[in-house]
């Protein structure tokens, strides 16, 4: 009996602790005042994804493109006890196959020391809500094939990995060369 009582007390204590951790989480829309934090977190994401050499981050362009007159993306900020611990950047595309809008998640990132504490799930839930509010039938994003923790996390949310499609990209000089083609 003592052991069962200790187990129940342990669960209650753990649940109370989890509720406290979750209660401190807040997801809000990003704003121009978040640019310094976004820049820092985007650099952290590039480092985590081993893509630092690919980054060409510019705070002025980020401010213009996310918070200016013609916005190309929207953002969510995740805070715990007023400290920014994660973010998501997303935009809307269109699927001709389903004849409907699609929410595309460009970035989702939570600081390593904050992972496993509900921040990533809270961001994904808010992204799903944004998708549903806009009438989207789907939400899509990319994950690196070696990133097993993220893949497991997404699958745990019910996401399906689609290995049939290959990401195709034109950048820089190749993009400009194609644009000049007559």
Tokens matching residue 160? 């399906």
CATH tag for 26-180 (out of 3.40.630.30, 3.40.50.12780, 2.60.40.10, 3.30.420.40): 3.40.630.30
What distance lies between CA 16 and its chain's CA centroid?
27
Residue by residue, DSSP assigns 124-173 as HHHHHHHHHHTT-SEEEE---TT-HHHHHHHHHTT-----S-------HH
pLDDT tens, position by position, for the chain (182 residues)? Answer: 434 444 434 444 444 445 455 558 999 999 999 999 999 999 999 999 999 999 999 999 999 999 999 999 999 999 999 999 999 999 999 999 999 999 999 999 999 999 999 999 999 999 999 999 999 999 999 999 999 999 999 999 999 999 999 889 999 999 999 999 99
Supply the pLDDT for residue 23.
Answer: 54
Supply the pLDDT for residue 95.
Answer: 96
For tokens 């989207």, the residue is 136
Report the candidate in 24, 12, 134, 149 with the shortest Cα–Cα distance to residue 78: 24
Residues 18, 26 contacting (CB under 8 angstroms) = no
Backbone φ and ψ for 50, nearest 5 degrees, come out as: 60, 40
CA distance 121 to 111: 13
Choosing from 48, 87, 91, 154, the catalytic residue is 154
Query: 35-48 and 59-67 helices cross at what angle (nearest 10)?
Result: 110
Residues 108, 141 contacting (CB under 8 angstroms) = yes
Please confirm, yes or no, whether 90 is among the known catalytic residues.
no
Tell me the pairing of strands 138-141 and 100-110.
parallel
Supply the pLDDT for residue 43.
Answer: 97
């Amino acid at each position: 009996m003592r052991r069962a009582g200790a187990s129940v007390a342990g669960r209650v204590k753990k649940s109370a602790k989890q509720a406290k951790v979750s209660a401190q989480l807040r997801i809000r829309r990003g704003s121009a005042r978040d640019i310094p934090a976004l820049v820092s977190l985007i650099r952290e994401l590039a480092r985590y994804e081993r893509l630092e050499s690919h980054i060409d981050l510019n705070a002025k362009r980020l401010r213009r493109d996310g918070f200016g007159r013609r916005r190309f993306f929207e953002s969510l900020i995740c805070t715990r006890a007023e400290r920014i611990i994660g973010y998501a950047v997303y935009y809307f595309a269109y699927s001709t196959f389903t004849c409907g809008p699609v929410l595309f998640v460009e970035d989702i990132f939570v600081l390593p020391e904050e992972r496993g504490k509900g921040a990533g799930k809270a961001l994904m839930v808010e992204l799903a809500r944004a998708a549903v509010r806009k009438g989207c039938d789907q939400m899509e994003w990319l994950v690196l094939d070696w990133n097993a923790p993220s893949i497991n996390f997404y699958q745990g949310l019910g996401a399906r990995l689609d290995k049939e499609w290959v990401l195709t990209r034109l950048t820089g000089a190749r993009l400009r060369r194609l644009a000049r083609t007559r």
